[in-house]
Structure 1
Amino acid sequence: MLPTQPRLETERLVLRPPRIEDFDRYAQMLADEDACRYIGGHQPRGGAWRRFLQMPGAWALQGFAMFSVIEKDSGRWVGQMGPWQPDGWPGHEIGYAFHPDAWGRGYAVESAVAAIDWAFAQLGWEEIIHCIDPENAASQKVAARLGSTLRGPGRLPAPFDEARVDIWGQTRAQWAHNRNRIA
């Protein structure tokens, strides 16, 4: 059991720390070439398991990590969203990844609003970033809808130092303005 168990709710979603029952759908996402193209690549189930454990570990040690995103109606895990800052990361990230069967439903923006609000209120962050592959148009659209702007190319720490990323972001003050404009 994690020391804190935040639970965020939106109209259609629940955001909470990962649980073991989330793993099968997470492994399905990482087995899908399209779904994981921009988040480190395809992983077999064993690799997905090790990667899955990063989030509960970050929750336990840092007190924050990406939330599991759960559909209220079905109880189904649809993705992950939220604060993420591994050692050497270029800033306080709000990251996201969604199972392909959840794409196109607006879940990324809906859950990001809750996660960004939580990060600013609970973690005291003064700005957030999104590290996005320059070819990932869908993620760029999510960042832009949230009011984040392209800040330029960035660099991730090893073992991701060869990955091309652009840094998108906004400050707490910009979020206070942008949040009310999200439809």
Structure 2
Amino acid sequence: MDLEGLKLETERLLLRPVRGDDFESWAAFCADPETMHFLGGVQPRAIAWRAFLSTVGAWHVQGFSFFSVFERATGDWVGRVGPWQPEGWPGTEVGYSLARHAWGKGYATEAAATCIDWAVDTLGWTDIIQTIDPANTGSQAVARRLGASLRGPGRLPPPYENQPTQIWGQTREQWQVNRLRLRR
């Protein structure tokens, strides 16, 4: 896969595989307590670096991972969204995490819908989940807008096995109906 040429675009956003010059924005994202509240807590720069490299590595080993998401109008990095399936994960997830300055603009739904399309059409995924903390009502609202439904409690692999998690999801067939509804 040509990672250098891979780009997904929406009306307002540009998504591309994570690369080295995204790290400063990534590290600032990981240092924000409010942004990281449901993502395992603030990560010191050294830990953020390791997570960042895991994402870059997943692109090369698995052929997919989080995309860096940019506002097309400003070029600003606004978050990470995309297919995600680390070892022991409860399913094929399209996750979304945006920097606080990008909240409330509909970017998570817009970027996640584009990534679900890519995961279904390019990767051949037949099931898409979101793993969401039960208290994270913002993420739940995005999952609902995408057409996912609550499947029940889930369990993440170590070191997150004690973190409360709900599994939201939909099948490829459900997504094919839901994506039409989103585009109206």
TM-score of Structure 1 vs Structure 2, range by shorter chain = over 0.9
> 2:94 is aligned with what amino acid?
I
TM-score (norm 1): 0.96
Structure 2: which 5+ runs fail to align? none
Question: How far apart in 2 are the matches of 1:171 and 1:97?
Answer: 22
**1:92 Cα deviation from its structure 2 partner:** 0.1
**1:23 Cα deviation from its structure 2 partner:** 1.1
**1:61 Cα deviation from its structure 2 partner:** 0.4
Q: How much is the aligned-residue C-alpha RMSD, in angstroms?
A: 1.1
TM-score (norm 2): 0.96
Contact 1:25–1:99 under 8 Å retained in 2: no
**1:85 Cα deviation from its structure 2 partner:** 0.1
Question: How far apart in 2 are the matches of 1:4 and 1:18?
Answer: 9
Instruction: List per-residue Cα deviations over 1:66-123 (Å, max 9, x = no partner).
Output: 1110111111110010100001100000011111111111100010111000000111
Question: How far apart in 2 are the matches of 1:38 and 1:109?
Answer: 18
> Equivalent residues in 2 for 1:1-183 (5 A)?
3-5=2-4, 6-182=6-182
How many percent of aligned residue pairs carry the same amino acid? 54
**1:3 Cα deviation from its structure 2 partner:** 4.8
How many residue pairs get matched? 182
Instruction: List per-residue Cα deviations over 1:133-182 (Å, max 9, x = no partner).
Output: 00000000000000000000000111111111000000000001111112
**1:10 Cα deviation from its structure 2 partner:** 0.3
Structure 1: which 5+ runs fail to align? none
Question: How far apart in 2 are the matches of 1:68 and 1:40?
Answer: 20
